[in-house]
């Protein structure tokens, strides 16, 4: 229990050393030295008494105690470092709230789909950054730069393959996550806003797939993009103007790839990152739902209260 540094210590954890009525930060209210967490102070005095054999402890207890003291010493440096940051940013309560919040009874493997989607997005982001170091977004050079990545760059084909298959994996995970949320009824009160943010995220994911698809500029990319832009053009009145905006003109021209590249690299990932942040905040704040087949066992007085 003493392994956790002061600011991250659980508020109502099972810390036996907190015998002196510490507050939430593990600090002793009446401690003369505010830098040293009160719990550590108390235990140190007790340990020294034991080590010095004052309480008549045997060799075994002394060895165990020495191990604990080494552990304490080892965690003291990171504890001080984290304490330093916490004192200057006030992030302790936030980090504690996020890491040690309770997930309801019955949380199972279905609930990992959300973070798996985010992980797939991070994988795409990282592989995307490496691809962007070699890719040239122009109609003449795009294809040859991709060939260069495939053939000459170290691990180029692997990174490009990871990016391409990562897109498939991300779409699959996002849809599975959406399905899980739907069937568990996790879009109902009070999580309606979270669902809306999630649907916008699905849409942005498909937009990433669409804009990224053009960048290798092979036959499949070109024609799939032509059809996608013309689908936009089919809307009455504003459709053709929207298609002009996407294409950068009436025909597929010099700036079309640049536009799609800017969308794919800058605008849409930025929106996705911001919305993932909002989505996670709501998840931490509202809590994840319990599986719908679990019913809370109501205490008898609670049931009486309801009637």
Q: Which of residues 98-157 bind another protein (CB under 8 A)?
A: 98-107, 109, 111-113, 115-116, 119-120, 123, 139-140, 143, 146-147, 150, 157
Residue 285 engages another protein in binding (rule: CB under 8 A): no
Residue 54 engages another protein in binding (rule: CB under 8 A): no
Q: Nearer Cβ to another protein, position 36 or 265?
A: 265
Residue 235 engages another protein in binding (rule: CB under 8 A): yes
Residue 33 region, left (φ>0) first, then alpha (ψ -120 to 50), else beta?
A: beta
Long-range CB contacts (within 8 A, 24+) of 108-112: 108/291, 110/180, 110/184, 110/291, 111/180, 111/288
Q: What is the largest CA-CA distance in the chain?
A: 91
Residue 185 engages another protein in binding (rule: CB under 8 A): yes
Q: How far apart are CA 198 and CA 21, in angstroms?
A: 44
Q: Which of 245, 266, 274, 285 binds another protein (CB under 8 A)?
A: 245
* Residue closest to 209 by CA, chosen among 227, 221, 194: 221
Question: For residue 275, what are the CA distances in angstroms to 139, 226, 238, 278, 296?
Answer: 32, 29, 28, 5, 32
Q: Which of 64, 91, 199, 273 binds another protein (CB under 8 A)?
A: 199
For 226, the 3-state DSSP assignment is helix
Q: Nearer Cβ to another protein, position 38 or 137?
A: 137
* Residue closest to 45 by CA, chosen among 58, 54, 35, 56: 54
Q: Nearer Cβ to another protein, position 277 or 292?
A: 292
Shortest separation between residue 58's beta carbon and another protein, angstroms: 34
Name 28's bridge partners: 22
Torsions phi, psi for 219 (to 5 deg): -55, -45
Residue 161 engages another protein in binding (rule: CB under 8 A): yes
* Residue closest to 261 by CA, chosen among 210, 185, 301, 307: 210
Residue 304 engages another protein in binding (rule: CB under 8 A): no
Shortest separation between residue 257's beta carbon and another protein, angstroms: 9
Residue 253 engages another protein in binding (rule: CB under 8 A): yes
Give the binding range for another protein (CB under 8 A) out of 20-28, 31-39, 80-88, 166-174.
166-174
Q: Which of 168, 266, 270, 281 binds another protein (CB under 8 A)?
A: 168
Q: How far apart are CA 178 and CA 116, in angstroms?
A: 12
Residue 218 engages another protein in binding (rule: CB under 8 A): yes
Q: Which of 59, 73, 133, 237 binds another protein (CB under 8 A)?
A: 237
Residues of this chain, 72-101, that bind another protein according to CB under 8 A: 98-101
Q: Which of 125, 207, 222, 258 binds another protein (CB under 8 A)?
A: 222
Q: How far apart are CA 204 and CA 101, in angstroms?
A: 29
Shortest separation between residue 60's beta carbon and another protein, angstroms: 29
Residues 50, 54, 57, 60, CA torsion sign: positive
Give the binding range for another protein (CB under 8 A) out of 52-60, 69-77, 85-93, 246-254.
246-254
Residue 293 engages another protein in binding (rule: CB under 8 A): yes
CB 127, CB 162: distance < 8 Å: yes
């Amino acid at each position: 229990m003493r392994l956790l540094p002061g600011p991250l210590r659980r508020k109502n954890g099972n810390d036996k050393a907190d015998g002196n009525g510490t507050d939430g930060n593990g600090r002793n209210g009446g401690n003369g030295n505010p830098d040293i967490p009160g719990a550590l102070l108390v235990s140190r005095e007790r340990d020294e008494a034991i080590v010095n054999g004052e309480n008549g402890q045997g060799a075994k207890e002394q060895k165990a105690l020495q191990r604990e003291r080494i552990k304490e010493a080892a965690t003291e440096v990171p504890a001080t470092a984290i304490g330093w940051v916490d004192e200057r940013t006030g992030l302790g309560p936030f980090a504690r709230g996020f890491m040690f919040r309770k997930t309801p009874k019955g949380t199972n493997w279905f609930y990992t789909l959300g973070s798996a989607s985010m992980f797939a997005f991070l994988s795409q982001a990282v592989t995307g950054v490496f691809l962007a170091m070699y890719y040239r977004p122009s109609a003449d050079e795009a294809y040859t730069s991709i060939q260069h990545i495939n053939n000459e760059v170290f691990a180029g084909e692997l990174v490009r393959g990871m990016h391409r298959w990562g897109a498939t994996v991300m779409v699959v995970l996002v849809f599975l996550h959406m399905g899980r949320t739907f069937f568990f009824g996790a879009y109902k009160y009070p999580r309606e806003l979270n669902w809306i943010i999630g649907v916008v995220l699905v849409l942005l994911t498909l937009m990433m797939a669409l804009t990224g698809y053009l960048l290798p500029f092979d036959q499949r990319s070109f024609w799939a993009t032509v059809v996608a832009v013309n689908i936009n053009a089919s809307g009455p009145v504003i459709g053709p103007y929207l298609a002009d905006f996407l294409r950068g003109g009436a025909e597929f021209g010099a700036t079309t790839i640049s536009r799609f590249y800017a969308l794919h690299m800058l605008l849409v990932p930025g929106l996705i990152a911001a919305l993932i942040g909002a989505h996670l905040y709501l998840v931490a704040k509202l809590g994840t739902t319990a599986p719908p087949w679990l019913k809370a066992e109501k205490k008898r007085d609670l049931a009486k209260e309801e009637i």
